[in-house]
């Protein structure tokens, strides 16, 4: 998931924050529809994506995918999924609250090659 925020200041300048979050990395098969809902943290100051935490998360996910693949070869898929340990905890996803004429926020999905899909406006509750 790619998040792009454009923050306008009173002097006419614009600050852009762009962050990419590999949120679908932990799915062993295609992600289910409910995977499109993620808990995000509201950016209230200058919080940024924790690159180190996301790197550690991706390593944990890769380790689990390898373990799952080996287990799957030894047994049927249903048993392999049932025996899988819980998915690693996903690090924080930061997003600002959109504000008219001040903060514009868009999100899009991207593929393994880094190509973006259509941008959407987030639904924040």
Alpha-carbon torsion angle 112, 113, 119, 124, nearest 10: 30
State both tokens at 11: 């002097």
State both tokens at 66: 């390898």
Integer Cα distance of 12 and 38 in angstroms: 33
Domain extents in the chain: 2-108
Helix ranges, the chain (H):
51-74, 77-82
Mind listing the pLDDT tens digit for each residue in 16-32?
Answer: 999 999 887 665 555 55
The beta strands (E) that lie in the chain are given as 2-8, 14-20, 41-42, 94-95, 103-108
Mind listing the pLDDT tens digit for each residue in 69-125?
Answer: 776 666 666 666 666 666 678 899 999 999 998 999 998 887 767 677 666 665 554
Mean pLDDT value across residues 28-55: 77
């Amino acid at each position: 998931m790619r998040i792009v925020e454009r923050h306008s200041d009173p002097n006419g300048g614009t600050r852009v924050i762009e962050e990419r979050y590999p949120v679908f990395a932990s799915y062993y098969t295609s992600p289910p529809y409910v995977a499109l809902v993620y808990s995000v943290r509201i950016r209230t100051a200058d919080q940024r994506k924790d690159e180190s935490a996301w790197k550690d998360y991706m390593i944990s996910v890769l380790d689990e995918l390898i373990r799952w693949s080996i287990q799957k070869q030894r047994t049927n898929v249903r048993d392999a999924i049932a025996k899988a340990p819980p998915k690693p905890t996903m690090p924080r996803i930061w997003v600002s609250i959109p504000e008219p004429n001040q903060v514009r926020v868009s999100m899009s999905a991207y593929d393994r090659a880094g190509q973006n899909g259509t941008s959407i406006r987030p639904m924040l509750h």
